[in-house]
Structure 1
Amino acid sequence: MSKLRVGLLFGGRSGEHEVSINSARAIATALQTGDNQSKYEVLPVYIPKNGVWQASEVGQQVLETGTPLVCDDSNPQQLWDFPPEVKTVDVWFPILHGPNGEDGTIQGLLTLMRVPFVGSGVLGSSVGMDKIAMKTAFAQVGLPQVNYKFIERSQVWSNACVFPKLCDDIEQSLGYPCFVKPANLGSSVGIAKVRSRSELESALDSAASYDRRIVIETGVTAREVECAVLGNDNPKASVIGEITYDSDFYDYETKYTDGRAQLHIPAQLPDNIITQIQEMAIEGFKAIDASGLARVDFFYVEATQEIFINEINTLPGFTAFSMYPQLWEASGIKFPELVDQLIQLAVEKA
């Protein structure tokens, strides 16, 4: 049998460009390891920050160096000139984190190409990326969540009479501390933990600069635990992992700075709590119509044994040291086998 040509699509026009490169490098290595070497041929397709697709030599160069390409952004019509090698791809492995990568946009393009691709489709990706749509889907199936409110940018950037009333309402309904989040950004970008009126006003203004829709959540004292999901119609859940850190919350700097956060796999939890989290992870996965892979994050309040679903990530970080592959490693699926299974799931779904 001939090898499947895997289009490894990485980079992208988001703040997680460098994270995407690191994920792609790990996946490329896995596709050239063991049995995968005889099953797959890798075509690296790199999207620089100017959005112009680059394949073959340029993509391979970025994979080897791990350094983003500096490109000219003065000729936007090139955005539609896809490399000819794109037509030879048998299955896509998009590993584009953040906006324009895991929000359904690239998934829509790949769907129109009529070529299988790893991960969720347009619906699962877009709902999983949008915190408001995600929370609405979770609420619809009865998954417990912390108290939250949705507001729009227009309410923040309004006249001097409306804004104080908005802050009053947030204080009364959610209290302090609370978290202010843009609805459509990944990796904790634009998120702030606030404890006072002045911090709330500043955080709302900042979040509104990132997105026209904003989520505010009640802060809870809880352990932060995560579960990986793998599959299509019959997904399975991994062991549970826990994140601990010394910073005030799990912000972007803590997430991507070596040594700032610690992963504990498996998490030390009662058996009944582990089972509940795994069941809720699969329920959340199905609620947004995800497929292939996702990491589902939870709050576990040890004092009351309450579990709250926090969010789902349909294209989580995918280096060998990222939580998603480490959870499957601890569950008995090594990194190269995990990559293989994801490609087979993509073919199965198509």
Structure 2
Amino acid sequence: MAVLFGGRSSEHAVSCVTAAGVLEAIDRTKYDVVPVGIARNGQWSLVSADPAAWSLRSESLPEVVPGEQSVVLSADGTGSELVVHAEDTLPRSLGRVDVVFPVLHGPFGEDGTLQGMLEMADIRYVGAGVLASAVGMDKHYMKVVFEAAGLKVGPYEVITDRQWEKDAPACLERASKLAFPLFVKPARGGSSMGITRVTNPADLRAAIETAREHDPKVVVEAGIVGREIEVAVLQGRGTEDPRTSSPGEIAVQHGEHEWYDFEAKYVDGAAAELSCPADLPEDISARVRDLAGLAFEAVGGEGLSRVDFFYTPVGDLIINEINTMPGFTPISMYPQMWAKSGLPYTELIDELISLALERKTGLR
């Protein structure tokens, strides 16, 4: 099996750290693991299988760098294999690929593009398919799908590239009508990159420009007063319903972090604390798990997802987003919630691979 990570998005380093967690925990006696890194320029390379090479280091964030050898996925109608190409040498096969574990985050990896390529190569892979990946990556269409499924979403505005270039003041006026504080986000980003919390209307334009550095389409969300509740979802076997973990709650240790930003998620291990199971009334705990399963089904989820909610003081459960490839770093919430729900990390990875192997490619 191939563990695929890195990629062209701004979440490149996060993907590397996720890969470090997977490479460290995966059962090497059961799986023949081939680590394949994707550099920021799109080159695929055979890289180190040592988890330490991809973990967070104090000096710099991990990165896949382009090399002299490239790895190519080759399909011949009877299967697919990984082939190493280098100048002045004959191509070298790494063998057939039974399954790919793509731990890429963001565009060109988590948004359906890679999933479509794997479908065309007839290779099974861990996680959501093309449509669910695309919908789960785009915070605009994600909300449209959630609303259609009867889930409650918070107030928001979408600013497309054309709208901003044509009439930025009109975009600012629309967004300013939302209740502050606002969260300005790249529509197709993750790991809290490019997100700004805005408390003053005068800062809104700069926040939108910051988000546009990551994505020309921007989502502006009204801040919601409520507790942040998360649920980890795992696809059921066969015709079984999706499985849901005990709900978890994130408590950000305010000080340097006003909210659950990139540093709190991946760098400062003491910045946020997960309580799982969250201290919720039994009926709310059951309800949020049901809603997480509904959200998973609404986007056509497969494999895994993490679904995030706000639990408001008046008892509403407002869905924030679904993440179809949540992080697997040592402090990531998805594996922590399953571990606290009775499914340890290594067994979780094994279950995800098993789900991928039993699922056919193509229309399903």
- Mapped to 1, the partners of 2:186 and 2:292 lie a distance apart of 23
SS at structure 1 position matched to 2:277: coil
Match of 1:166 among 163, 171, 190: 171
Q: 1:217 maps to what in 2?
A: 221
Q: How many Å apart are 1:86 and its aligned residue?
A: 5.7
Q: Check the 8 A contact 1:102/1:126 in 2, yes or no.
A: yes
Structure 2: how far apart are the matches of 1:305 and 1:138? Answer: 19
Query: How many angstroms apart in 1 are the aligned matches of 2:213 and 2:71?
Result: 26
Q: Is the 8 A contact 2:228 2:250 kept in 1?
A: yes
Q: Quick one: distance in 2 between partners of 1:313 and 1:69? A: 23
Distance (Å, rounded) in 1 between the aligned partners of 2:213 and 2:20: 32
Structural RMSD (CA): 2.1
Q: Which of these residues, 246, 249, 260, is aligned with residue 259 of structure 2?
A: 249
**Match runs of 1:43-192 below 5 Å:** 43-55=34-46, 58-60=47-49, 63-66=51-54, 67-71=62-66, 83=84, 84-85=92-93, 87-158=95-166, 162-172=167-177, 174-192=178-196
Residues in 2 aligned to 1:79 and 1:337: alpha-carbon distance in whole angstroms: 29
Contact 1:99–1:186 (8 Å) recurs in 2:
no
The answer for the alignment partner of 2:88 in structure 1 is none
Supply the AA of the counterpart residue of 2:16.
I
Q: Conserved in 1, the CA contact under 8 Å of 2:37 and 2:64?
A: no
Secondary structure at 1:188 match in 2: coil
Within 5 Å, give how 1:196-345 maps onto structure 2.
196-232=200-236, 234-245=241-252, 246=254, 247-258=257-268, 259-301=270-312, 303-345=313-355
Q: CA deviation at 1:97?
A: 1.3
Shift of 1:135: 0.6
Q: Which residue is equivalent to 1:3?
A: none
Deviates more, 1:268-277 or 1:203-212: 203-212
Amino acid at match of 1:324: Y
State the shift of 1:69 in Å. Answer: 3.9
> Does the 8 Å contact 2:157/2:174 carry over to 1?
no
Distance of aligned partners of 1:86 and 1:194 in 2 relative to their CA distance in 1, 3 Å threshold: farther
Q: State the shift of 1:79 in Å.
A: 8.1
Unaligned 5+ segments in structure 2 are 55-61, 74-82, 85-91
- In 1, Cα distance between equivalents of 2:38 and 2:172: 41
Higher mean alpha-carbon deviation, 9-18 vs 214-223, is at 9-18
Q: How far does residue 203 in structure 1 lie from its aligned partner after superposition?
A: 1.4
**Partner-residue secondary structure (3-state), 2:126:** coil
Please give the per-residue CA displacement for 1:185-216, whole angstroms capped at 9, x wherever unaligned: 11111111112221112212222333222211
Cα deviation digits, residues 228-286 of structure 1 (max 9, x gap): 00015521100111111112222222222222222222211111111111011011001
Cα distance in 1 for partners of 2:340, 2:124 equals 28
Contact map agreement 2:10 2:214 (CA 8 A) in 1: no
CA 1:86–1:268: 2 relative to 1, 3 Å: farther
Distance verdict in 2 for CA 1:8–1:72, change over 3 Å: closer
Q: How many residues align?
A: 330
The question of whether the paired residues in 2 share the 8 Å contact of 1:156 and 1:208 is answered with no
Q: Does 1:31 align with 2:26?
A: yes
Structure 1 contact 156–204 (Cα < 8 Å) conserved: no
- Return the offset for 1:87: 4.8
Partner AA of 1:48 in structure 2: A
**Identical-residue share of aligned pairs (%):** 43
Deviating above 4 A after TM superposition, structure 1's stretches of 4 or more consecutive aligned residues are 78-82, 84-87
Unaligned runs of 5+ in 1: 1-5
Shift of 1:175: 2.5
Query: What letter is aligned with 2:164?
Result: V
TM-score by length of 2: 0.85
What is the Cα deviation at residue 128 of structure 1? 0.3
SS in 2 for 1:229: strand
Q: 1:165 to 1:11 in 2, by over 3 A?
A: closer
Q: Secondary structure at the match of 2:247?
A: strand
Cα deviation digits, residues 306-341 of structure 1 (max 9, x gap)? 110000001111124311111111111111111110
More deviation in 271-280 or 191-200? 191-200
Q: Secondary structure at the match of 1:181?
A: strand
